[in-house]
């Protein structure tokens, strides 16, 4: 085993994770030279999605099941198990950096996942390859990934054959609690550093309030090779587990054989101490919050131009969302619009979403009522 300098971290260690066909360069590379290079194939850790040195993110709203899914991915890579639809794990060393869970909870989840694996060989492989760094387990704060000194400390906790680091979760492992670009800069440098030694990283994170993407600055996504987002399944959760839709929002390399969206259900069986999972093809991408608002207003008969103005979106987006609806929904939208035109009723929508009705200015005036003297007069 190599001698580790506690102040230097990974760069001082004899890691042979990334196969290099040429020595590192310290000056710019002419294009003519670059085009003559031959490149080694990517080292797969989980199909074509997660490869050695790749950087990804898994994001979901609180309580939906992102930690369970991250543990499931970790077990598949460590144990050489299938993780649909991406493929089979490489049986590589994975380190799970846990910043939130109590050790008892983490151990129970891992035990149930392991008990659900019917193959002794892969159970043993995962038991050796899946390793934990946790604050509660080690009874140590350990540090934060946005502090350089703490980064080195975490690096020195990694086994030398570590192929992947899963960080659960981004906010739990940062010191400031801020999620702007400046706060992410030291993490970004660290991710680049881990990439140079061939360690893949998966950041577990929360989605924003709208549920449309990861929480915080879009700079979080600049270095990502892939971005996995979990959404609420309209069918709801089972009583003894969770269910969600999985969408691959970003991937450097496109693969036509991988579905755009699919579903996972995880259920626990306390009698057998197992956690079972079900993979399902859904074929339809879940609507975003703004898409749903557009549909809701269209179903109230609001004209497309007014919907765009109310929600501060392009009219072309309203048209695209409308065009993506089923034939039945399109018919309902058309009927709602017809009824509104017939009634001559317009509806204003406040920024808070509250709606108020008003009679159209094109509506014929009411017939004058006679006053007590029998003469025409204004309506009371």
- What pLDDT is attached to residue 329? 86
Which two three-digit tokens encode residue 112? 């149930």
**Percent of all residues in the chain with a pLDDT value above 90, rounded to a whole number:** 56
The whole-number average pLDDT for the span 331-357 is 69
According to the 3-state scheme, what is the secondary structure of 112-165? HHHHCCCCHHHHHHHHHHEEEEEHHHHCCCCCCCCCHHHHHHHHHHCCCCEEEE
**Is 50 exceeded by the pLDDT of residue 280?**
yes
- The pLDDT tens digits for 220-251 are 667 899 999 999 988 889 999 999 999 988 88
The CA–CA distances, whole Å, from 42 to 48, 242, 245, 253, 377 equal 8, 34, 28, 12, 86
- The pLDDT tens digits for 13-27 are 444 455 556 777 889
Judged by average pLDDT, the poorest of 74-83, 162-171, 286-295, 347-356 is 347-356
**Is 70 exceeded by the pLDDT of residue 3?**
no
- The pLDDT tens digits for 135-149 are 988 888 899 999 999
- Determine phi and psi for 44, rounding to 5 degrees: -75, 135
- What pLDDT is attached to residue 376? 41
Q: Which of 101-105, 108-112, 176-180, 332-336 has the highest mean pLDDT?
A: 108-112
- What pLDDT is attached to residue 299? 92
Mean pLDDT of the chain: 83
Which two three-digit tokens encode residue 252? 């450097």
**Is 70 exceeded by the pLDDT of residue 176?**
yes
- Determine phi and psi for 371, rounding to 5 degrees: -85, -175
Residues 104/309, Cβ–Cβ less than 8 Å: no
- The pLDDT tens digits for 196-212 are 999 999 999 998 665 55
Q: Which residue has the higher pLDDT, 179 or 190?
A: 190
**Is 70 exceeded by the pLDDT of residue 296?**
yes
- What pLDDT is attached to residue 327? 82
The whole-number average pLDDT for the span 304-330 is 88
Q: What is the pTM of this model?
A: 0.73
Which two three-digit tokens encode residue 149? 């000194």
Which two three-digit tokens encode residue 47? 């199909």
Measured distance CA(352)–CA(291) in Å, rounded: 17
The whole-number average pLDDT for the span 334-343 is 88
Which two three-digit tokens encode residue 303? 């004209």
**Is 90 exceeded by the pLDDT of residue 378?**
no
């Amino acid at each position: 085993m190599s001698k580790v300098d506690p102040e230097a971290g990974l760069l001082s260690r004899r890691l042979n994770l990334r196969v290099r066909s040429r020595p590192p360069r310290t000056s710019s590379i002419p294009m003519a030279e670059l085009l003559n290079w031959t490149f080694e194939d990517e080292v797969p850790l989980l199909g074509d999605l997660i490869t050695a040195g790749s950087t990804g993110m898994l994001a979901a709203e609180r309580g939906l099941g992102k930690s369970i899914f991250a543990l499931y991915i970790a077990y598949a890579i460590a144990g050489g198990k299938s993780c649909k639809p991406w493929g089979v794990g490489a049986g590589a060393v994975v380190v799970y950096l846990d910043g939130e869970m109590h050790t008892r909870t983490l151990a129970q989840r891992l035990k149930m996942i392991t008990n659900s694996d019917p193959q002794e060989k892969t159970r043993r492989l995962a038991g050796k390859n899946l390793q934990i760094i946790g604050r509660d387990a080690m009874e140590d704060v350990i540090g934060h990934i946005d502090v350089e000194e703490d980064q080195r400390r975490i690096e020195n906790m990694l086994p030398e054959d570590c192929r992947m680091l899963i960080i659960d979760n981004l906010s739990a492992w940062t010191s400031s609690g801020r999620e702007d670009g400046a706060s992410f800069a030291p993490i970004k440098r660290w991710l680049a550093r881990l990439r140079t030694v061939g360690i893949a990283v998966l950041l577990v994170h929360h989605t924003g309030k709208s549920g449309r993407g990861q929480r915080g600055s879009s700079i979080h996504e600049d270095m990502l090779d892939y971005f996995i987002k979990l959404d609420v399944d309209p069918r709801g959760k089972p009583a003894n587990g969770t269910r969600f839709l999985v969408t691959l929002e970003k991937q450097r390399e496109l693969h036509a054989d991988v579905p755009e969206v699919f579903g996972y259900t995880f259920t626990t069986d306390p009698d057998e101490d197992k956690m079972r999972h079900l993979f399902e093809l859904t074929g339809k991408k879940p609507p975003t919050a703004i898409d749903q608002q557009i549909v809701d207003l269209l179903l109230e008969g609001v004209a497309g131009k007014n919907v765009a103005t109310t929600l501060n979106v392009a009219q072309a987006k309203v048209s695209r969302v409308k065009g993506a609806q089923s034939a039945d929904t399109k018919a309902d939208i058309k009927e709602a619009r017809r009824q509104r035109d017939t009634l001559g009723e317009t509806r204003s929508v406040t920024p808070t979403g509250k709606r108020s009705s008003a009679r159209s200015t094109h509506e014929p005036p009411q017939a004058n009522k006679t006053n007590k003297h029998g003469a025409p007069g204004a309506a009371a």
